[in-house]
């Protein structure tokens, strides 16, 4: 009796989960289908489910250099994320561990860079970039994302650092490591889940960002979020191509999240569960 009840319960859960999955994945499926659907069948009613797939959308996307945009997006996002990790990790550690003059004020000041709405800073950035002649360069976008992500990264990682047991570092010092060794061999491995989780969020932010990419880049350095709207042309919306580029834009985020899933979950729950 009880076993039967439990089985029935399990079955209901499974059915509900599947239903949820269908609702969740249907738009993705629709987008995938649009990638290979001939343009003339795109909006036929009733919906055409069986059609001979076409690669013409892919051809258009390749011919019009969207792969270059993908490259630009990757360079800018990965570049800024790597810099954030390299600069932000020691900063976060220092804020957590050392008695720096006016540390708390400095710490708050770092966050202040993120308090203004991004659009408020767009014009100053534009003018500065024009003077420095780094408009429409990879460097320009990497730097602007750096300024936004660094504060976030330092704040989040600093709390990870505070949760590390300081005795472990003291033990390593007593055992004969130098400060630099302690940081490299003891602290960094323990911080890895935190670094991964936080930097993935930074990567996604840079990957999705539109406003600055549009204003400070735009011609030769065009990221995917800026390139996608160009498919909405005067002659009409190129739905199939839009679907292809959309999928291209989602895939790297999927890969990153799937590949690092274990770390991200550990990172996001670190501190919440001790032991």
Partner 1 sequence: MAVVRIENVVKHYGLVEAVRGVSLNCADGEMMALLGPSGCGKTTMLKMLAGIEDVTSGEIYFDDEPIADRDPSARNIAMVFEDYALYPRLSVEQNIAFPLKVRHMPKREIKPRVDKALDMLDLQQFRRDNVQRLSGGAQQRVSIGRALVRDPSLILFDEPLSHLDGDQKVQLRVEIKRLQHEMGLTSILVTHDQTEAIAMCNRVAVLNEGELQQVDTAEVVYDYPANLFVATFVGEPPMNLLPAELRQERDGLVAAGEGWRVAIADRQATRARQATNRADVILGIRPEHLDLVPLAGEGANGDDLRGTVFFREPRGDSQIVLITSEAVPGEGNVVTETDSASSLRDDEAVALRIQPEHVHLFDPATGENLFARGS
Judged by the rule CB under 8 A, the positions of this chain that interact with partner 1 are 99, 165, 167-168, 170-178, 181, 186, 189-190
In the complex with partner 1, the residue whose CB is nearer, 60 or 177, is: 177
Shortest spacing between CB 186 and partner 1, in angstroms: 7
CB of 90 to partner 1, least distance (A): 19
Minimum CB distance to partner 1, residue 167 (Å) = 4
CB of 160 to partner 1, least distance (A): 15
DSSP of the chain: -HHHHHHHHHHHHHHHHHHHHHHHHHHHHHHHHHHHS-GGGTT-SS---S-----HHHHHHHHTTHHHHHHHHHHHHHHHHHHHHHHHHHHHHHHHHS--TTHHHHHHHHHHTTTS-HHHHHHHHHHHHHHHT-TTSHHHHHHHHHHHHHHHHHHHHHHHHHHS-HHHHHHHHHTT--HHHIIIIIIHHHHHHHHHHHHHHHHHHHHH--HHHHHH--SSS--HHHHGGGGEETTEE-HHHHHHHHHHHHHHHHHHHHHHHHHHHHHHHBTTB--
Q: Which is nearer to partner 1, 59 or 170 (CB)?
A: 170
Q: Which is nearer to partner 1, 27 or 176 (CB)?
A: 176
- Residue among 51 and 177 whose Cβ is closer to partner 1: 177
Alpha-carbon distance of 78 to 128, in angstroms, equals 24
Question: Considering beta carbons, is residue 17 or 178 the nearer one to partner 1?
Answer: 178
Q: How far is the CB of 176 from partner 1 (least distance, A)?
A: 4
| CB nearer partner 1, residue 189 or residue 234 | 189
Q: Report in angstroms how near the CB of residue 156 gets to partner 1 at its nearest.
A: 22
CA-to-CA dists, residue 138 to 25, 242, 265, angstroms: 34, 24, 31
Q: CB of 169: closest distance to partner 1 in angstroms?
A: 9
Q: Residue 210 corresponds to which tokens in the numbers above?
A: 């539109």
* Shortest spacing between CB 190 and partner 1, in angstroms: 7
Report CA torsion sign: 161, 166, 265, 272. negative
Closer Cβ to partner 1, 132 or 171, answer by number: 171
Indicate the residue among 63 and 175 with the shorter CB distance to partner 1: 175
């Amino acid at each position: 009796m009880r076993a039967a009840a439990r089985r029935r319960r399990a079955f209901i859960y499974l059915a509900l989960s599947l239903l949820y999955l269908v609702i969740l994945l249907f738009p993705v499926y629709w987008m995938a289908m649009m990638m290979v659907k001939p343009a003339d069948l795109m909006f036929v009613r009733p919906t055409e489910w069986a059609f001979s797939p076409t690669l013409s959308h892919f051809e258009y996307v390749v011919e019009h250099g969207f792969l270059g945009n993908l490259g630009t997006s990757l360079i800018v996002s990965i570049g800024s994320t790597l810099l954030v990790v390299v600069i932000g990790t020691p900063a976060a550690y220092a804020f957590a561990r050392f008695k720096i003059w006016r540390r708390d004020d400095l710490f708050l000041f770092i966050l202040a860079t993120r308090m203004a709405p991004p659009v408020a800073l767009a014009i100053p950035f534009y003018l500065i970039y024009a003077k420095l002649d780094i408009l429409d360069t990879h460097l320009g976008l990497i730097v602007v994302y750096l300024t936004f992500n660094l504060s976030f990264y330092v704040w989040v990682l600093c709390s990870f650092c505070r949760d590390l047991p300081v005795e472990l570092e003291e033990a390593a010092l007593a055992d004969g490591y130098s400060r630099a060794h302690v940081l490299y061999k003891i602290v960094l491995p323990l911080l890895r889940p935190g670094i991964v989780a936080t930097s993935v969020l930074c990567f996604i932010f840079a990957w999705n960002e539109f406003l600055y990419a549009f204003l400070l880049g735009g011609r030769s350095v065009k990221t995917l979020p800026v390139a996608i709207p160009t498919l909405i042309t005067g002659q009409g919306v190129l739905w199939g191509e839009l679907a292809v580029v959309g999928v291209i834009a989602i895939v790297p985020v999927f890969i990153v999240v799937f590949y690092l899933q274990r770390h991200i979950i550990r990172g996001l729950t670190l501190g919440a569960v001790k032991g």
